[in-house]
Amino acid sequence: MVMEDIDLGDRRGLIDLIYGQPQKGEVSDTPSASSNTLTPLTDHTTKKPKKEKSNVVCSLSTAVMLFLLAAAAVLLCGFAAYWLTRQQFESKMAALKYVPQPRRNLSQLSKEADMYEEEPPMDGPTVDELRLPRNVEPIWYNLTLKTYLPGVSAIANEKNLTTDGNIMIKLRVLSATDEITLNAKDLTFPMDYTKARILTDEVPTKFKREATNDTSDDQTPEELTHLMTNMTNMTTTTPAPVSQPALQMHDAKVKRIFYNATLEKVVLFLDNALLSLEEVIVQLPFSGRITENSDGLHHSTYRTRTGDKKILSFTNLRPGSTRSIYPSLDEPQFKAPLSLTIIHPKGTVARASAMEKLDSLPTEEPLWDRTSFEVTPALSTSRTGFTVSDFENKESATKTGMKVRIYSRPEAINSTTFALDTAVKALDLLQEYFGVPLKGDKQDIFAVPTLDDTSMSGQGIMFLPEQDLLLDPSTNTAEQRVKIARAVTRALTRQWFGNLVAPSDWHALWLNEAFAKYMEYTLLDKIFAGDVDAKSYQTGDSVEPVLVDDARSSSHPLTLNIETPAEAEEILDKVTAEKGGAVLRMLRAVVGDETFQEGVKNFLTTHANGTANYTEFWDALDNAVGLKLNAWDGNKFKTADFAEKWILQMGYPVIDVYRLDARTVELTQRRFKLDHLTPERAKYRNALYWYKWDVPIFHEINGEKQDMVWLHEAVRLPLNLSDTLLINPESLGYYRVNYDEQGWIAIADLLQKDHQKLPAAARARIVSDALALAEGGQLPYERAFAVISYLPKETDYLPWTVALRGLRNLYNRLSKTELEPKAKEFVKEKTSQLFTSLDLDNLSPPDDSKFLESQLRKDLAALYCEMSPEECTKKLVAQFETNFMTPCKDNEVASDCSKVPSFIRSWVYCAGVSEGGPQEYEQVRKFSINEVDSAEKRRLLEALTCSRDPRALRRLLYDSIHTGTSPILKSDVQSIVESMNNQVVGEEVVSDFVLDNWRDLNDRFALDKATLSNILGSAIRLNSERDVKQFERFLTDHKSTTLGLRVLKLQLEIARNQVQWLKTNKKTMKNLLSSRRSEKEL
């Protein structure tokens, strides 16, 4: 028997696996639920000495008589036991409203799961081959980089979008070696090996470092600046002769340079070995490229109102990206200061992690300027950043005097005021919360026109999407202000978690993402002075979506055995950020707000300007908790024992609530999954803790908050029949709750009679869990429909947010069946009462305190207009003609003339194109080409996907995935395919087009797998068993190019679930949607 054959919810099977099948002398009964360990019970009875056997003789007639007497005795005892216990049994039954049915084991995989072949491991180098040897470590970097950006000054065509660089790295030798290995990717090196040099420095005594294992932090920035200034003449793109007295040629010479593209390494072979504890300087010239890909040194373009095309370059340093910019020790545990000089075209500005020391000084070449920067603190290579652009800036300062500058294209600089003010406020609040000041004297924030929904942060410099930073005073709404505050806070949090304290290895990356997401919501209440209900907003906007994603087999743990940049990149997704933020919120609720903050401060103070693993964050929290909290077993609470069950295994539990008797309920746990068709990937299938968690049970009884209790395997709570129990009413716990039948009946009845007796957050939790449990086959849909029957009375944001998501999901599941009309009527019935009070022209009031209300209005209107397009289209088309086409008749830039309210522009433009003809389509297309505002440009491009002409849609897709003269940027492709997949005609076009043109799509995004995955996730939607089979054939035919794209497995899992869901629930849905009975009676 192997682990793959064991059901992790089957205790007997696990015991058999560990201890083998019961042997003589072992007890084979399953241990009680209260057992804490799985220990075999041996027979300890005293063995008696053997006696000599004596022969006993019995006749046949005697044997038959004895047998009959024994049988009669057994029957008599059975009847007696029945009649004696029946009365007592029935009296106990009468005292209970409900006796739980035998608990079903829902953790088994469907037999169909065996049909799906486990994806074979990808061919390639081993982890040990990819990692750097540990024979040297960096002390500092000195980099000079020349960037060839076209369009600013005359540059030879072959040099366009390239770089020339010279890197000097001071290394400490940890063990004798005649090879120096650095990371390098897509770089070229000189054929003349003499241009690569090994140097030593003869620095004055006060600047010398003794040959010890001291870190580079022992040298102050002033000392490093002095040393590196002496080497300025050395760091040009063409290495100068060694003429500085402080630098001498080392005895070891470079005899060969070997670049291994597969391993992303460059190896310098020396003619003499370097000695242990020796310190040397490696000088290496190189050339690189400024790519269109979304990592490394990236270039982007934008248009001005006069039609000029501008180009900028900036860094996006994901795990393993720095090696594509310059040779380095590009692994997170290596930290060292960086001295940077950028040679850039005249007319541009260069900015980097550190403050400028010499800004835009002329060089010997008249078309080029040089900008040098102060030395950074010791950082890992992925925590730096720089840019070259023609941007302008606004400036302010924090309470502590830190300079804050926000940069944008010149035409948008007046729209950055709110983002600048918010950044200053957020920095002050973060420093107060974290209790540790940042190193450095400035923070630069760049509004990049062509960035998608991701932000890029380095020490002292951040790159955010332009639409996340600009606030046009003429279209100022609470929604826009909250969006800017979230984006700025998320980016600035990484200055502490990521830069001030860097991850010691890729295993700890999740903590940076989790804290960025956690603080993104936590600070909203303070930034907006309590006008935004941040807790409810995080629940609806972040926690609820990840509860869906993390319930699938295609999910992943937050961290587990991450050894390579590719594995690190794989886990840096929404599940990691959103779940990580939810787990931190739950951890704070467990230990208390003040204790949690104290632990955070301890962690940052202890490890400031260094590296740390997440386990050291657990230690800091333990010190803050002390003896104030006990674990489930009564011993002192240890954060690691609790938290690692949530981060080292995927998924989360559902808590089953069973009534045992008139005064007691029992809570148990099991893993929640939306389906059991698809097995997890092999490396995640057998979780470290067998998919069991230590669950903090937050609960209320009759509206009164109770002390938290621990659920390890099972826990019992006192509860009278007349009491109302609510588990996890504020959604602080990362789990779902399934009440027994009578519990759900009582909840549905209470919601119908007076839903206000339950808090809005509790109502949201109930609605979300009921619909999810029904979708996963763990609650009858009749019961879930009874729970949501009260919705026409609901008016609060959070219950409606989760309800709208559930109703839309239900409609989408039935939208391609004969039940679609009835599903549409069902959704309209639930939403019509609230929708009638909406004004499409006033969905987003400017008052911050109405933010959640405006979010609800917009979401509700979007769903209702989808269900009842005839009621919305007329109003939207009128807006299109009156407030867009007419005022923009003689304009080329839509954002300069459109009078449509910003919060409904997407709907208005879409309706205008959908209901219009070729003339309207062509006009919107021209506007999209000339548009200078990135948010408006995206709205116009998405409007084109609303066309009902399949030929126009295919032409739009063709322009999106083919390079050349297409005006559509790579950053816009995902939004185009996602929007098209949400349109009636577009949905029939986009999936087939993407699969039919797979080779072209893969060619354009071959080096940008993150963007490719986002596009595929948005484009592929499978609605039938036939679609599933065709897609499976596609994966087989293109195995070599689709292997490793996890998003394709996710789409397949979703499709299989949809097919199975229809088989299981279609008849039930038909009966429920056709029934005229009141849902309360179900």
Q: How far is CA 364 from CA 151, 343, 545, in A?
A: 21, 11, 57
Per-residue pLDDT, 245: 46
Per-residue pLDDT, 211: 38
Confidence of residue 51 (pLDDT cuts 50, 70, 90): very low
- Average pLDDT for 1001-1005: 85
- The percent of residues in the chain predicted with pLDDT above 70, rounded, is 82
Mean pLDDT check: name the lowest of 584-588, 747-751, 931-935, 1043-1047.
1043-1047
Per-residue pLDDT, 1006: 77
Adjacent-strand bridge partners of 148: 162
Token pair of 515 as six digits: 């804290």
Q: Are 445 and 464 in contact (CB under 8 A)?
A: yes
Q: Are 183 and 169 in contact (CB under 8 A)?
A: no
Q: Are 386 and 461 in contact (CB under 8 A)?
A: yes
Q: What is the DSSP letter of 895?
A: G
Per-residue pLDDT, 729: 98
Q: How far is CA 49 from CA 46, 52, 54, in A?
A: 10, 10, 15
Quote the CA–CA distance of 944 and 921 in Å, as a whole number: 7
Considering just the CA atoms, what is the radius of gyration of the chain in Å? 33
* Helical segments of 58-211, H only: 60-94, 127-130
Q: How far is CA 37 from CA 713, 746, 833, in A?
A: 11, 37, 55
pLDDT in tens, 292-313: 877 899 898 898 998 898 999 9
pLDDT in tens, 1018-1066: 888 888 888 899 999 999 998 888 887 888 888 999 999 999 999 999 9
- Average pLDDT for 942-970: 87
- Tell me how far apart the terminal alpha carbons of the chain are, to the nearest angstrom: 45
Q: Is the pLDDT of residue 401 over 70?
A: yes
Contacts of 127 (CB under 8 A, 6+ apart): 563, 564
Q: Give the mean pLDDT of the chain.
A: 85
Per-residue pLDDT, 100: 39
Q: Which has the higher per-residue pLDDT, 566 or 729?
A: 729
Q: How far is CA 750 from CA 306, 753, 766, 767, 802, in A?
A: 63, 5, 12, 13, 19
Per-residue pLDDT, 67: 63
Q: Is the pLDDT of residue 117 over 50?
A: no
Quote the CA–CA distance of 940 and 944 in Å, as a whole number: 7
Per-residue pLDDT, 81: 54
Neighbours of 531 (CB within 10 A): 16
Confidence of residue 846 (pLDDT cuts 50, 70, 90): low
Domains and CATH numbers, the chain: 135-383 (2.60.40.1730), 391-496 (1.10.390.10), 506-647 (1.10.390.10), 849-1081 (1.25.50.20)
Q: Is the pLDDT of residue 988 over 60?
A: yes
Q: Are 368 and 344 in contact (CB under 8 A)?
A: yes
- Average pLDDT for 436-458: 87
Q: Are 522 and 713 in contact (CB under 8 A)?
A: no
Q: Which has the higher per-residue pLDDT, 507 or 762?
A: 762
Per-residue pLDDT, 5: 45
Per-residue pLDDT, 251: 93
Confidence of residue 847 (pLDDT cuts 50, 70, 90): low
Q: Is the pLDDT of residue 882 over 90?
A: yes
Q: Is the pLDDT of residue 637 over 60?
A: yes
Q: Are 587 and 639 in contact (CB under 8 A)?
A: yes
Nearest to 953 by CA among 982, 993, 910: 993
Q: Is the pLDDT of residue 225 over 80?
A: no
- 3-class DSSP state of 1020: coil
Quote the CA–CA distance of 1045 and 1035 in Å, as a whole number: 11
- Average pLDDT for 38-57: 40
Q: Are 259 and 266 in contact (CB under 8 A)?
A: yes
pLDDT in tens, 123-148: 678 888 999 999 999 999 999 999 99
Q: Are 420 and 406 in contact (CB under 8 A)?
A: yes
Distance from chain centroid for Cα 724: 36
Q: What is the DSSP letter of 696?
A: E
Q: Is the pLDDT of residue 2 over 50?
A: no
Q: What is the DSSP letter of 311?
A: E
Q: Which has the higher per-residue pLDDT, 1019 or 749?
A: 749
Identify residue 518 by its one-letter amino acid code. Y
Confidence of residue 972 (pLDDT cuts 50, 70, 90): confident
Q: Is the pLDDT of residue 209 over 50?
A: no
Q: Is the pLDDT of residue 716 over 50?
A: yes
Range among 74-78, 473-477, 618-622 rated most confident: 618-622
Nearest to 599 by CA among 630, 625, 629, 638: 625
- Average pLDDT for 52-64: 54
- pTM summary value: 0.84
Tokens 């004596």, located at residue:
54
Sheet holding 338-345, edge to edge: 247-249, 197-201, 279-289, 162-173, 136-148, 338-345, 368-373, 356-362
Mean pLDDT check: name the lowest of 437-451, 562-576, 1051-1065.
562-576
- The percent of residues in the chain predicted with pLDDT above 90, rounded, is 62
Tokens 């999954």, located at residue:
673
Nearest to 360 by CA among 370, 351, 368, 352: 370
Mean pLDDT check: name the lowest of 106-115, 445-454, 562-571, 943-952.
106-115
- 3-class DSSP state of 305: coil
Per-residue pLDDT, 122: 57
Can you say whether residue 890 is alpha, beta or left, with left for phi > 0 and alpha for psi between -120 and 50 degrees?
alpha
Neighbours of 567 (CB within 10 A): 17
Q: What is the DSSP letter of 1038?
A: T
Confidence of residue 1012 (pLDDT cuts 50, 70, 90): confident
* Long-range Cβ contact pairs of 31-36 (< 8 A, separation 24 or more): 33/668, 33/713, 33/714, 34/713, 34/714, 36/633, 36/712
Nearest to 342 by CA among 205, 142, 505: 142
Per-residue pLDDT, 115: 39
Contacts of 323 (CB under 8 A, 6+ apart): 182, 183, 184, 185, 187, 264, 330, 381
User: 660 φ, ψ to 5°?
Assistant: -90, -40
Quote the CA–CA distance of 196 and 493 in Å, as a whole number: 39
Q: Is the pLDDT of residue 487 over 50?
A: yes
Q: Is the pLDDT of residue 202 over 70?
A: no
Residue 782 in marked binding region: no
Q: How far is CA 559 from CA 190, 351, 358, 644, 785, in A?
A: 40, 34, 42, 10, 38
User: 519 φ, ψ to 5°?
Assistant: -70, -25
